[in-house]
């Protein structure tokens, strides 16, 4: 037996019993009334809304409009899968035409809906039989499903909704979310109101003292700042001023690199201040300070958990002392120190990297351009940490021949301009008189170039040293890696 389906009386589109309108033509499928008392309910279910032609004798005009509220008769399928009616169906394919003419004015097209049972029974009834059909199928919506708009209860009056009160945050009562302004920052640094991660204190740091300044920034790619720096000012026993700057870069492949860099910077700075105040010579004091920092980083391996896939805490270090007309520089790793005179003539790099590329060049196996273009170029060969084979601090003493600045930085800056000549073109011309703004500008430059790494810069303004000789260009001063190199290791 074929499965019978319901269809629209206008376009024969298949529909379901719960549909109120035809999806194909938009016909109101609920415009029907109760079946006549003489209808044969036991007939086979037809195709639903695919009605046959209205019974003979139907009136047009107002009476024709009432026909829109009548149920059409179902069609018997022809053959196994046919949907057309018999010859008497009055339309090809068994879909009879709609009653002609638009509904009369003043006649509710929802006739028979929203009325009581007795009133609906008094409405005009559908014919008991249409030729060509074998049974009746009637559909009438429940009287309470569709009601007129007049029957709807008006919305009760109520007072207008009060707006949310404005929350005034008392100054100094706690950290405020940079996203939503709520004072609900949890211990992990996230806002409990909007979920935004808050900047960590080390994401961006600045410090300026008389004679030295430092700026550090997380950059754009790293989730935290693994660089650290310390700047300090003191006086020698005779009353002459002395300034100290220490910059450290945590090794990202190590455990807790941010802790390693901070511990090394703090330890070296404190050691240098005590040594300078006691009258110690800056060069041996620098060597001893770096060794003290190395021991402090090594101790970190025993003070916290170690990640199985990572090495012990490790970092690089570069430090500078400006005292007595000389600048003493010490380093381990690939953090660098540069000299930039005010006129930029004679800019040079003061350090030599502890890296694979530097060793290849030093051994004469590769040219500098070739070595630093290699993927292994930045693999460091010296660092501070428990797994360092042997820490060998490098130190050099430099007497500024003219007014200028000594700049120490991590590779987050010099990766964009390696040579002293190129980097010197980026350093602001007034760096000596405005060192903080110069450091800020250099950090901004690195961030604008991509900020692929953490960036830390320290600037030490210098005046011409009475101990220096006049600057004479040499072969080492030519712009290969830098404008020149003076070093004592």
d(CA 15, CA 183): 57
CA dist list (Å): 197 to 172, 194, 218, 257: 20, 9, 14, 21
Domains and CATH numbers, the chain: 1-149 (no CATH), 165-198 (no CATH), 204-477 (3.60.40.10)
CA dist list (Å): 42 to 38, 46, 138, 252: 12, 11, 12, 83
Q: What is the mean pLDDT of each run of 10 residues along the chain (489 residues)?
A: 65 77 78 46 39 40 39 39 40 45 45 42 47 45 46 50 46 76 85 87 94 97 95 95 98 94 98 97 98 96 81 96 96 97 96 94 90 89 92 95 97 93 96 97 97 97 81 37 35
Residue 171, pLDDT score: 55
First-residue to last-residue Cα distance in the chain: 101
Residue 93, pLDDT score: 42
- What is residue 479's DSSP assignment? S
Residue 172, pLDDT score: 56
Q: Number of C-alpha atoms within 13 angstroms, CB side, residue 166?
A: 2
Residue 150, pLDDT score: 54
Q: Is 133 exposed, middle or buried (0-12, 13-18, 19+ CB in 10 A)?
A: buried
Dihedral over alpha carbons 283, 379, 375, 247 (to 10 degrees): -50
Return the closest-CA partner of residue 253 out of 380, 344, 150: 380
d(CA 104, CA 63): 8
Tokens of 255: 């455990």
- What is residue 185's DSSP assignment? B
d(CA 324, CA 145): 97
Residue 14, pLDDT score: 80
Residue 187, pLDDT score: 82
d(CA 465, CA 401): 6
Residue 330, pLDDT score: 98
Tokens of 447: 């961030």
Phi, psi dihedrals of residue 279, rounded to the nearest 5°: 95, 15
Residue 153, pLDDT score: 53
Residue 154, pLDDT score: 53
CA 248, 425, 371: angle at the middle one, nearest 5?
Answer: 60
For residues 265 and 229, the answer to whether their CB atoms sit within 8 Å is yes
Q: What is the pTM of this model?
A: 0.61
């Amino acid at each position: 037996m074929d499965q019978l389906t319901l269809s629209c009386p206008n376009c024969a589109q298949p529909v379901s019993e719960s549909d109120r309108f035809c999806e194909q033509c938009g016909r109101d499928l609920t415009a029907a009334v109760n079946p006549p008392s003489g209808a044969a309910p036991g007939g086979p279910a037809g195709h639903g809304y695919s009605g046959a032609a209205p019974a003979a004798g139907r009136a047009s005009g107002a009476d024709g409009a009432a026909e829109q509220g009548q149920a059409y008769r179902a069609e018997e399928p022809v053959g196994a899968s046919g949907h057309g009616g018999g010859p008497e169906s009055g339309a090809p394919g068994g879909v009879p035409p709609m009653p002609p003419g638009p509904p009369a004015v003043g006649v509710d097209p929802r006739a028979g809906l929203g009325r009581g049972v007795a009133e609906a029974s008094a409405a005009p009834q559908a014919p008991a039989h249409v030729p060509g059909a074998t049974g009746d199928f009637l559909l009438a919506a429940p009287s309470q499903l569709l009601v007129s708009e007049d029957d709807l209860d008006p919305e009760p009056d109520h007072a207008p909704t009060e707006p949310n009160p404005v929350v005034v945050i008392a100054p100094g009562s706690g950290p405020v979310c940079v996203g939503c302004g709520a004072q609900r920052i949890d211990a992990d640094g996230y806002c409990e109101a909007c979920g935004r991660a808050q900047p960590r204190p080390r994401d961006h740091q600045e410090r300026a003292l008389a004679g030295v300044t430092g700026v550090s920034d997380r950059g754009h790619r790293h989730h935290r700042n693994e660089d650290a720096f310390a700047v300090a000012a003191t006086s020698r026993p005779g009353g002459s001023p002395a300034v100290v700057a220490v910059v450290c870069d945590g090794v990202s492949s190590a455990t807790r690199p941010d802790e390693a860099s901070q511990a090394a910077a703090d330890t070296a700075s404190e050691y240098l201040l005590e040594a300078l105040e006691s009258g110690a010579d800056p060069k041996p004091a620098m060597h001893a300070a770096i060794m003290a920092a190395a021991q402090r980083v090594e101790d970190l391996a025993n003070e916290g958990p170690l990640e199985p896939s990572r090495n012990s805490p490790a970092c690089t270090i570069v430090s500078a002392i400006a005292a007595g007309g000389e600048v003493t520089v010490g380093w381990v790793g690939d953090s660098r120190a540069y000299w930039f005179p005010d006129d930029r003539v004679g800019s040079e790099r003061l350090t030599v990297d502890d890296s694979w590329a530097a060793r290849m060049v030093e051994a004469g196996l590769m040219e500098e351009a070739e070595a630093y273009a290699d993927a292994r170029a930045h693999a460091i060969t010296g660092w501070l940490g428990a797994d360092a084979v042997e820490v060998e601090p490098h130190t050099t003493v430099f007497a500024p021949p003219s007014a200028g600045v000594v700049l120490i930085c991590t590779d987050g800056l010099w990766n964009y301009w390696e040579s002293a000549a190129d980097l010197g073109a980026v350093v602001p011309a007034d760096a000596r008189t405005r060192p903080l703004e110069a450091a800020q500008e250099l950090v901004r430059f690195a961030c604008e170039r991509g900020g692929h790494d953490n960036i830390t810069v320290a600037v030490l303004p210098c005046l011409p040293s009475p101990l220096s000789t006049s600057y004479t260009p040499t072969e080492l001063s030519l712009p290969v890696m830098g404008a020149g190199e003076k070093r004592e290791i």
